[in-house]
Structure 1
Amino acid sequence: MTRCGSLVSTVEGMADPPFGFSAGDDPERNTPGKNDPQPGSSDPFGFGGAFDMADLGQIFTRLGQMFSGAGTVIAAGKASGPVNYDVARQLAANTIGYVAPIPAATNTAIADAVHLAETWLDGVTALPAGTTKAVAWRPNDWVDNTLDTWKRLCDPLAHQIATVWAAALPEEAKTMAGPLLSMMSQMGGVAFGSQLGQALARLSREVLTSTDIGLPLGPRGLAALLPEAINSFAAGLQRPRDEILTFLAAREAAHHRLFSHVPWLTSQLLGAVEAYARGMKIDVAGIEELARDFNPASLTDPAAVEQLLSEGVFEPKATPEQLHALERLETLLALIEGWVETVVTAALGERIPGTAALAETLRRRRATGGPAEQTFATLVGLELRPRKLREAAVLWERLTQAVGVDARDAVWQHPDLLPESHDLDEPAAFIDRVIGGDTSGLDEVIAELEKGIDSDHDDGSVDN
């Protein structure tokens, strides 16, 4: 184990919210001290009198000196933004440990299952095959092949946490605290990276496929199944293993059809996560409370530094912007999962007797928030749960019956043509719009684009 070992033992004790930012109990927080302010005092930093910027300068100097004692933690990985992904990758590998190579026969079985699933899916969807290769992944393969996408998912929230509290300081304080803030940012990157690494190691042993949580985490067109997790999943089911493998291969292949041939879908999904992070707000009053109760002498060891970073004051507060982004994300996930369930059931229903039971098992696994969803909530600060999955599946099934496969899949041509959250509760009106050829949502987008082009043209004419 490297020098990150001290971080591992500390992070294991952290609570679950994003990157360890949770309201934990600090045994020293409520210990009375001679510099503690009186209740109702306007002296949040505990100076016992009027606030003086010179006193703040002394505190930052002392903190800077004590942070230097924790430099060995930073040395575990070079600074790399709000999350140190070198530390994340290393800790994930150490946590996973040795995993035996996957037998050639297992690789062949997975490739055959995906090929068979693609053949059956061709008859039930207008979207062509999206997989170019099928592979079996070990847990460490999953980490290596999905880490680039996790960077997109984790960076927005981590960046907000790393910057929003510093932005709340007065301008004079920012100037005086410059070196210390840089040190804390670097420490935060290591702390975030260490928790990310352990969370990914856990998740890598739970996910069944590369698209198991509804996002395109792996390389485009690469269908990947994880035999170790599939064996654990199958152990509690009364179904033949080859049946379960074919079912999961069909789900993986169906997801790739969407992600490969609906060009806007990936950016919309990841954009919703980014929008959620941008809407985060930090309670400035809570920062003042932390400063009041904070004991600088506790910063003589790395564990105390991580305790500081895990104070609940940094926990994001829900905002209207976040709630809107979360609703958009949940609706998209429900539509994706509902469509996948519909086409997989149509492709396998008459060929594999256990299709309906397996679909129900996975539906409950997603709807109740299984281990994968809980781990995702730890990583990016929100639950990745398609709350209306069942309703979405019903909508896609009814739409298929009403307009056929081609018209159903044409709905994916533009995000404005998709059902909205309220349509999942009342699908009849949406189906009527599709039957009637209503493309008003798309027409409005085109009209706005044309309006912008005309405006640019008019501006150019005036300039000439």
Structure 2
Amino acid sequence: MGAHDHDDTPGASGDDAFNELQRMLRELLAGGGPAGGNFDPAALAQAAGLPGDTAALQGLFASLQRAMQNPTKGIDWSITRRTAIEIAGGGEPSGDPAGALRAFPVASLWLDEVTDVGQTSDAPRAITRIEWVQQSVDTWISLAEPVANSIAAALTDALTGQLPEELSGSIAQFGPMLQSVGGALFATQLGQIVGKLSHEVAAGGDVGIPLFEGPGREGGSLIPAGVTAFATGLDQDAEAVTLYLAVRELAHARLFRHTKWLRLHLITAVTDYARGMRIDTTHIEELARDLDPSDTSKIQELVSSGALIPPKTPEQVAAHSRLETMLALIEGWVDVVTASAVTRLPGADAIAEMVRRRRAAGGPAEHAFGTLVGLELRPRRQREAAAVWRLVAERGSTSRRDELWSHPDLLPTAEELDHPARLLERLGLSGAEPATAEPDDFDRELALLLDGDLPPADDESGSGTTGGSDSIGGSGDDDSRDNLRGEEPTPPPA
């Protein structure tokens, strides 16, 4: 309602105006639309990036009605849980967990050979999409809540500054209702994001941060239906794909469980970044001047492009850099350890390439955090981080590489990712030659055999041994050599 509209009805009080606005909103949320209007709920949902099917829209508008009629100070996050579970429950079957359960013990043995970061106390699990939602949604809510609060506060401030003076008395009533309805919309959208993610992920670590917390949940997890979807079109054995993903997932789980400070460090960094977000209402007004409200595709393009997210503050730029470096170090370490562990797995290179392509095209993490806070969660510097981890292991050892996770101050910095020589200098590895494993006796003898450099038999040199059937140069060995060549032994003279 604009100021000029209010001037046409000078007898209306602030409370009457508030009641009229509330009545109109009720009609909108009931699907009837204002008198003489043509309100299209599906068009509104499309513009907001919300579900367009009838049942989902009915649930959405029911939630908004409850939020408007019973405004609360906080956000009703049960909407997020309900929406996400409904979406996770749709689609293809949950899949057979047997393959994942067979893969976990082998994956654990392979990891024991290539890293000092030990097993977790929790057993790895095969879970359904609904279980993934139920057990991770609280983490998503904790990450999204600062953004939701920033948006609600910005909208309320914008409304307070734009309403005419005559309606100032209604702000006390209108503010909580606006925050409640806005919070319900945000909670619904978050539920949409988490529900859709459940159909994209194949493992608990796919998002790059530890989503699961609590007894029995931190040992790593695979989603059989997600593994099947990942393997589709790969032209690789399904068991091999499952085993590869199990190795990656257990590497993630070991790192987060072993490095006890890492989960809190990451979650705090993400929430601090989100808490620093500010909604630039002036920028929104400028964009709205040339926007056709009936063009829902243009509205959706505007929302999804991130144009409404203001430029990062200097504090956010610094926080983004820290997050990018930390996430790169995590993913780079997992990549290096996984590559070392799966050397005997057929098709491992092709599966690893699929993981890289998926990441480059935008995986589950990018979709989630790009929508929520405009944060590119997957680090662009992962390859540099992986190269640094390999370099430390080559110049030092895998133990030296893994012990850097014992404290955040020991980890490579962003500057050291740019200039690995500085990291080697700090670690005292500047002059170290790449470490090579000492061959054992069997390896040395095998190399001699393959090169054709075995020493001559003792009997041919005429030294050292006595004759007889047990001697190296005796007739028994001649017969053995004949047998190895596929020839019949010479019979003894009659």
CA–CA distance in 2 between the matches of 1:79 and 1:101? 39
| CA 1:403–1:313: 2 relative to 1, 3 Å | closer
Show CA shifts across 1:114-161 (max 9, x none): 121111111211211126222222221211111011111111111111
Q: Please list every run of 5 or more consecutive structure 2 residues that lacks an aligned counterpart in the other structure.
A: 31-61, 431-494
**Mapping of residues 338-417 of structure 1, within 5 Å:** 338-349=332-343, 351-370=344-363, 372-417=365-410
TM-score by length of 2: 0.67
Question: Paired residue for 2:123?
Answer: 133
Structure 2 counterpart of 1:124, from 114, 117, 120: 114
**Mapping of residues 71-86 of structure 1, within 5 Å:** 72-75=62-65, 83-86=75-78
Deviation of the 1:162 alpha carbon: 1.2
**Mapping of residues 6-155 of structure 1, within 5 Å:** 60=18, 62-69=20-27, 70=29, 72-75=62-65, 83-98=75-90, 106-130=96-120, 132-155=122-145
3-state SS of paired residue (1:177): helix
**Mapping of residues 268-307 of structure 1, within 5 Å:** 268-286=265-283
Question: Paired residue for 1:205?
Answer: 199
Question: Paired residue for 1:28?
Answer: none
| CA 1:390–1:290: 2 relative to 1, 3 Å | closer
TM-score by length of 1: 0.72
| CA 1:60–1:201: 2 relative to 1, 3 Å | same
CA–CA distance in 1 between the matches of 2:105 and 2:72? 40
Q: Which amino acid aligns with 1:147?
A: V
Deviation of the 1:63 alpha carbon: 3.0
Greater alpha carbon shift after TM alignment, 339-348 vs 361-370: 361-370
**Mapping of residues 314-329 of structure 1, within 5 Å:** 315-329=309-323
| CA 1:292–1:231: 2 relative to 1, 3 Å | closer
Question: Paired residue for 2:174?
Answer: 180
| CA 1:81–1:114: 2 relative to 1, 3 Å | farther
Question: Paired residue for 1:252?
Answer: 249
Show CA shifts across 1:242-296 (max 9, x none): 11111100111000111111122112211221122122122242466699999xx
Q: Which amino acid aligns with 1:339?
A: W
Point out which structure has higher relative CO (alpha carbons under 8 A, 6+ apart): 1
Show CA shifts across 1:391-444 (max 9, x none): 11110001111111122111111212211223222212112211269xxxxxxx
Counterpart contact for 2:123–2:220, Cα < 8 Å: yes
CA–CA distance in 1 between the matches of 2:161 and 2:247? 56
CA–CA distance in 1 between the matches of 2:222 and 2:71? 33
3-state SS of paired residue (2:135): helix
Counterpart contact for 1:142–1:204, Cα < 8 Å: yes
Q: Which amino acid aligns with 2:130?
A: N
CA–CA distance in 2 between the matches of 1:131 and 1:113? 18
Q: Which amino acid aligns with 1:378?
A: T
Show CA shifts across 1:196-226 (max 9, x none): 2222221111101011011111234232111
- Measured on the aligned residues, the alpha-carbon RMSD in Å equals 3.8
Q: Report % sequence identity.
A: 39
Counterpart contact for 2:103–2:246, Cα < 8 Å: yes
Q: Which amino acid aligns with 1:435?
A: G
Structure 1 counterpart of 2:426, from 429, 433, 452: 433
Deviation of the 1:68 alpha carbon: 4.4
Question: May I ask how many residue pairs the two structures share in their alignment?
Answer: 380
CA–CA distance in 1 between the matches of 2:72 and 2:250? 35
Question: Paired residue for 1:195?
Answer: 189
Deviation of the 1:47 alpha carbon: 7.7
Is 2:239 aligned against 1:242?
yes
Show CA shifts across 1:45-100 (max 9, x none): 55899xx9x99887656434433444844355787766432222222233344567
Is 2:252 aligned against 1:262?
no
| Higher CA-based Rg | 2
**Mapping of residues 207-226 of structure 1, within 5 Å:** 207-219=201-213, 220-226=217-223
Counterpart contact for 1:81–1:189, Cα < 8 Å: no
Q: Please list every run of 5 or more consecutive structure 1 residues that lacks an aligned counterpart in the other structure.
A: 1-32, 36-44, 438-464
